[in-house]
Structures are given as C-alpha cells and as structure tokens.
C-alpha cells in the first residue's frame, strides 16, 4: 500500500468514526441550494474537524496546517466528499481568507485571524458583488473614507449575494478609497466585523426555499486601521489573488459531489425505467465523460506544470463546470419525470430538485458565461478587447 493509500485510509477511518451520532444528520447536507442548512450543528462539526486537525490541512505547518502535498489535499477532499461530509461552514475562511492573509497579511493580522479560522470558531463571508458590480467587478461603488483622527476607515455602500453573511462573524470588503477613481484603481481590501452598528444584513429568499445569500448594507460602518490587507490602492491585486485561491484544491471535492449527484440520477433511472430511453442513456454517458474531462483538467492545473499553456487551460474551468452542472440538473428532472414537479420529502428526490434549481445560477455567479468567454478570448487566446459601444 502506498503512502497516499495509507493517508486515504486514515481519512476514511476518521470520517467513519466521527460523522456519526448527532453528526450523522449532516451527511450530504449543506450542498447545492441548501448552504444554510443546519448551521449551528455544522459549526460544531467545524470544531470537530479542528480537534482532529482536519481544518486547513493544506496550510503550511508554521501557520497551524498539516502542510499536505497537492496529492494529499486532493485525496482528503475526495474522501471527505465520498463519506458524505457536509458543506463546510468555514470554507470561505479556510480556502480564501486564510491563504490571502498568509500571502499578504501582516504578522499581527495572521496572529489575530488565522487561529479562529483554524479552530472553527470564527466564520467569514465575502464582500465583493454589488447591485451594479457583479461580473463587472471594477464598477464597485462602496466607499471607504479615512477618519483622520483614528486612522480607521468609514465604509458606506451595499454588497449583495453575500453567502452566509447572516451566519458569519467577519466580512472582507473591497471598497473604493480614492475619490474619483474608476475601474481597478483606487480600491482597498478591508477586514470588518459584522457585529457593529452601521451594518445591516438582509437575507435573500431563493427559489428553492433557502436563504443562504444576503444583502449587506454599510452605513458609516468602521474598519480598524490595522485591518487593511496590503496598502490602500492594492484592493484589486489582493482581490484577484484571493480568487486564484478560490479555484484551487476544493474543485476536486466539488467534482466528488457532482459524481454523487450523477450516481443518484443513475440509481433513480434504473428504478423508474428512465434508463430504457436511448436519449437518457446517451445524456448519462455524456455527463460521465464530461466529469472525467473536468477531473483531468483540474489535476493538470494543480500539478507542478505551470506552463503558459496550463494557465490558459485553467481559464476554461469555471465555464466548463457551470454549464456541465446546469445540464446535469436538466437531466435529473427528465429522469424524475412527473415526480420532478411535486414537492417531496424523499431526500433523494429533494436533493436533485434543489440541485436543479440552484444550478440555474451556476452560469451567472462568479462571472457569467459571457464574461468567462471574454476572459478566455482575451487572456487565453490573446484576442484584442472590443471597445464598448455607447447605448
């Protein structure tokens, strides 16, 4: 047995012995369309993971992680998902905020914020999108003004589609700090506590019944002077680096969840006879091959080969998985037939219904299809940017 096989067995054994008892209810929960499910129990699960040193396993050892290799991190993500591990309440802190602070934060910021992420006691959300700044991220309107007395930053504006803000302790906010600046210039990256006057959080009800997204309003809210990451004006650079961390190892865990959804579709198709349809069989085969292609791409991008060709290929990943997952939702509904239209308490059917409804947004959030194609054309293929016409 190889060292990696031994490691996989260790993860499987730990999950089997800990995702039991009161935590058994969490199996396969907190996925597509139900990110706000069982929040307090999932926060407790984060602390259980922390006690076993399974939070932040890819972080360097000097910052409290296990220092796992890429192969080991992939193995952990896959075994965690295979065992039914719930959606991670701490994934924004672990996968985005923590690596950003390790790369760009001051020593004081690392000492203050990394332990709470590592221990599963402080939770973060992301303050990027605004009503007029989604895919067009450079159109940010939220303002940060320097208080000349305290050195703090006074923030006013609105963020929207903020996942789990109502369940979080802190938010990282990209705001405009230079009067008259436009686009990527004049931005600042701030760390802000949500429990303060001047911050209001309004949940957004989703089509599937949940409310994991929020609007966050800032009315002269305050960010401490010591809670600026980088320098004023570095906001765009920090924000883009953070998005690079977002497209990292966790994509393999995401693919394992996709595999479980596909397996469930196949299982139900065999039960209700949908598998006898040549068209359904063809679509299942297409979904299977598409998922394998995604895995090979992700593994190549995560390898040590960081050639220009590999970096170009990485630009296609979001477009690839979001369209694949949307089509998987359509396949699920066709396999369920008329049952797809009926509210169900069958957990299998409910999971696929939620997946279908949530997957409709996959090609919108994180950069729409149109934005992704522009990125591929301009950054990957070197095509010139077309000037925007006036309406």
Residues annotated catalytic, as ranges? 246
Greatest CA separation for the chain: 73
**Nearest Cα to 39, choosing from 81, 80, 89?**
89
Tokens standing for 166?
A: 């109502």
Q: In terms of residues, how long is the chain? A: 391
Dihedral angle sign, alpha carbons of residues 371, 166, 119, 256: negative
The Cα–Cα gap between 212 and 203 comes to: 7
Which two tokens mark 84? 């039914």
Quote the DSSP letter at residue 159.
Answer: E
C-alpha 152/C-alpha 256 separation (Å) is: 44
Whether 168 and 194 have beta carbons less than 8 Å apart is answered as yes
Measure the CA–CA gap between 214 and 193, rounded to whole angstroms. Answer: 16
Task: For the beta carbon of residue 169, count every other beta carbon within 10 angstroms.
Answer: 14
Integer CA distances (angstroms), 371 to 21, 134, 321, 375, in order: 45, 10, 15, 6
Neighbours of 297 (CB within 10 A): 18
């Amino acid at each position: 047995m190889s060292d990696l096989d031994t490691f996989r067995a260790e993860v499987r054994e730990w999950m089997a012995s800990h995702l039991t008892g009161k935590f058994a209810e969490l199996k396969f929960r907190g996925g597509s369309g139900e990110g706000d499910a069982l929040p307090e129990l999932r926060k407790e699960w984060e602390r259980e993971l922390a006690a076993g040193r399974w939070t932040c396993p890819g972080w360097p050892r000097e910052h409290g992680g296990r220092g796992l290799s890429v192969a080991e991190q992939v193995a952990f993500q896959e075994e965690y998902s295979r065992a039914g591990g719930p959606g991670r309440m701490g994934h924004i802190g672990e996968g985005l905020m923590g690596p950003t602070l390790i790369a760009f934060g001051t020593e004081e910021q690392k000492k203050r914020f990394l332990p709470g992420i590592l221990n599963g006691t402080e939770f973060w959300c992301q303050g990027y999108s605004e009503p007029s700044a989604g895919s067009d991220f450079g159109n940010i309107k939220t303002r940060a003004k320097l208080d000349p007395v305290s050195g703090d930053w006074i923030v006013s504006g609105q963020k929207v589609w903020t996942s789990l803000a109502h369940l979080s302790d802190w938010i990282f906010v990209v705001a405009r700090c230079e009067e008259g600046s436009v686009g990527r210039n004049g931005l600042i990256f701030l760390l802000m506590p949500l429990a303060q006057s001047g911050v209001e959080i309004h949940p957004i009800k989703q089509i599937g019944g949940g409310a994991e997204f929020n609007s966050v309003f800032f009315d002269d809210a305050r960010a401490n002077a010591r809670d600026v990451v980088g320098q004023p004006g570095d906001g765009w650079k920090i924000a883009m680096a953070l998005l690079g961390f977002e497209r990292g190892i966790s994509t393999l865990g995401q693919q394992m969840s996709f595999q479980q959804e596909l397996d469930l579709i196949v299982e139900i198709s065999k039960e209700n006879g949908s598998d006898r349809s040549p068209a359904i069989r063809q679509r299942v085969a297409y979904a299977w091959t598409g998922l394998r292609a995604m895995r090979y791409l992700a593994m190549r991008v995560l390898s040590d080969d960081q050639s220009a060709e590999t970096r170009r290929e990485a630009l296609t990943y979001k477009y690839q998985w979001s369209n694949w997952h949307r089509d998987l939702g359509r396949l699920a509904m066709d396999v369920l037939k008329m049952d797809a239209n009926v509210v169900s308490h069958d957990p299998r059917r409910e999971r696929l219904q939620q997946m279908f409804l949530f997957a409709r947004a996959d090609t919108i959030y994180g950069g729409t299809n149109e934005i992704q194609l522009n990125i591929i054309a301009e950054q990957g293929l070197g095509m010139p940017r077309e000037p925007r016409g006036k309406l």
